[in-house]
Amino acid sequence: MKEDAIILGIEGTAWNLSAALVDERKIISEYEKPYLPKEGGIHPRDAAQSHASNIKEVISKTIRKAEIDLDEIKGVAFSIGPGMGPCLRTVATASRALSLLLKVPLLGVNHCVAHIEFGRWLTGAKNPLVLYVSGANSQVIAYRDKKYRIYGETLDIGVGNAIDKFSRFFGLKHPGGPKVEELAKRGKEYVRLPYVVKGMDFSFSGLVTAATSKSKENSLEDLSFSFQENAFSMLTEVTERALSYARRDELLLVGGVGANLRLREMLETVCEEREVKFFVPDRRYVGDNGAMIAYTGLLMLKNGMATPIERSSVKPNFRPDEAEIPWF
Amino acid sequence: MVLIRGAEATIYLDKNMGEVIKKRLPKRYRVKALDDAIIEERTKTEAKIISDVRRAGVPTPIILDLKDDEIKMEFIKGETLRDIVDEQMMEKAGEIVGKLHRGKIAHGDLTTSNMIYSDSEDRIYLIDFGLSRYDTETEARGVDIHVLFQMLKSTYNDHEELKNSFIKGYKRVLGEDEANSVLKRVEEIERRGRYK
């Protein structure tokens, strides 16, 4: 394989449909078309339909922006899971067709692993403990012996979904995260809310219920502030516990909720105290994107891990500790 | 002398007295109101529950003194199971956790780092009860065991064998039926956290 092989990556596990072309050294081009629900949260089928009608445009614009010849593309990578079934299937179908058309290998990428590998690539973190926080996922992960291992995770819903539920209750539009972050800055009084940590696991549904039930006696600003403080303190506490337990001196923060500055600040504080190096990708790359899929696809191709079409069924429950990691 | 600077607390050792002081230090990342409440709750819980833990037949250090944010207790000479665990030890750990659950207590943070093997006594001490509570529900027991199994899976290549040894000891103490309903709940809890 040539040094400068280019991989096309397509991400579409949930609300963001995004494609990118990446080679060993850089992101060559990207284009995205996020699905935004008219009201409420993400409806998997609506999202999949939106992806289906936009995928042609997203792919062709990505390729056109790059100004490359089609035969320079040496592989087509896509998120095979975890994610919403209908969305995953839409992206998989397009990817299979492209791989046949271009006569290049298909590469089914684990979405969580892609966040981690891309984060390591961008930041230079070597063997970090990883806090992965997004809508559906909240996990504390580290590499050991050919695999990423899960040290702790949510016992019910992801922190992003918890924030979405909280913000939907107050009529805030999707995505609620940035709005809650803004409101929290104006919060003055801390309201005591449930704080549920079990070893390195944690749970958010009790927090959502309690915070929304106090909407009469407390301001939205105070509740947003207190909600964030509890949720992020829980995440920071388990991260600190896992750093100590897994004996790591690097921390990598990935996933959409990683854009929140209050969460970053808490993690930075812990890292300073424990003399741990803190890594976090640029704000626009913490969330779901096509480049992370393309880059991880490249790693797979280099390690002879192409996905035969007959084994390219999507895996909505694909866990990071089920993926082989031979390149670490 | 500082013995351990843990994530939860710093442990100071007074070797001459054979005592340790476990002091929960304020967490700068948490707002003060929340931090104060957590530190006080956990210190109180630990001190209160630890004597009931002993009564349940689980080896654990004796408490000597208690303040708002620190506990003075007996020093246990030994090594945590983290790096020395084998199937035999895990079976013993299963018995101990069985006794704890039979004694109406859920630990809240079961790991091999919270188990100390005393060579001289040939027994395992259970420590760190800051996240513990009185709870006889299958759910609380299930979460306890889930946390332990997840940690075994992340840390040891022979986690299946260790898990099976633990189950053997756990069933011996808690009884086949009660243990099986907890283990069934563990499987449910594992499924729950996954992508929906």
- Whether residues A231 and A253 share a domain: the answer is yes
- Whether residues A302 and A265 share a domain: the answer is no
* Predicted local confidence at residue B196, as pLDDT: 44
C-alpha span between A28 and A274 (Å, rounded): 37
C-alpha span between A137 and A266 (Å, rounded): 19
Rg (CA), chain B: 17
- Whether residues A145 and A65 share a domain: the answer is no
Alpha-carbon dihedral angle through residues A153, A155, A157, A163, given to the nearest 10 degrees: -70
- Count up the domains in chain A and report the number: 2
Residues of B in contact with A142 (CB under 8 A): 154
Nearest Cα neighbor of A278 from A56, A63, A89, A129 is A129
Is A286 in contact with A5 (CB distance < 8 Å)?
Answer: no
Measured between its terminal Cα atoms, the distance across chain A in Å is 20
Q: Could you say which DSSP state residue A214 is in?
A: T
Convert the pLDDT of each residue in A275-308 to its tens digit.
Answer: 999 999 999 999 999 999 999 999 999 999 999 9
**pLDDT tens for each residue of chain B, 196 residues long:** 899 888 889 999 998 889 999 999 999 999 999 999 999 999 999 999 999 999 999 999 999 999 888 999 999 999 999 999 999 999 999 999 999 999 999 999 999 999 999 999 999 999 999 999 999 999 999 999 999 999 999 999 999 999 999 999 999 999 999 999 999 999 999 888 665 4
Residues 6+ apart with CB under 8 A from A21: A6, A7, A8, A9, A27, A28, A29, A30, A62, A63, A66, A68, A73, A294
Convert the pLDDT of each residue in A45-88 to its tens digit.
Answer: 999 999 999 999 999 999 999 999 999 999 999 999 999 999 99
* Domains B2-74 and B79-192 equal at CATH topology level: no
Q: Which of A233, A288, A317 to mutate to test the interface with B (most CBs of B within 10 A)?
A: A233
- Whether residue A4 has pLDDT greater than 80: no
- Whether residues A302 and A273 share a domain: the answer is no
Domain annotation covers residue A136: yes
* Predicted local confidence at residue A175, as pLDDT: 85
- Whether residue A109 has pLDDT greater than 50: yes
C-alpha span between A288 and A306 (Å, rounded): 22
Give the percent of chain A with pLDDT over 90: 95
C-alpha span between B94 and A43 (Å, rounded): 44
CB atoms within 10 A of CB A217: 9
A286 interface with B at CB cutoff 8 Å: no
Tell the CATH topology of B79-192: Transferase(Phosphotransferase); domain 1 (1.10.510)
CATH number of the structural domain spanning residue A207: 3.30.420.40
- Minimal Cα distance from A267: which residue of B? B29
- Whether residues A173 and A302 share a domain: the answer is no
Residues 6+ apart with CB under 8 A from A225: A183, A184, A185, A186, A187, A188, A189, A190
Superfamily of domain B2-74: Phosphorylase Kinase; domain 1 (3.30.200.20)
Cα distances (angstroms) measured from residue A196 to each of A199, A304, B131: 10, 43, 9
- Whether residues A223 and A192 share a domain: the answer is yes
Nearest Cα neighbor of A167 from A255, A40, A16, A262 is A40
pLDDT band at A3 (very low <50, low <70, confident <90, very high): low
- Whether residues A179 and A53 share a domain: the answer is no
Determine the structural domain holding residue A133 and report its residue range: 127-285
Q: Do B131 and A230 touch (CB under 8 A)?
A: no
Q: Is the dihedral of CA A24, A25, A31, A32 positive or negative?
A: positive
- Whether residues A280 and A292 share a domain: the answer is no
Domain ranges of chain B: 2-74, 79-192
Q: Do B7 and A82 touch (CB under 8 A)?
A: no
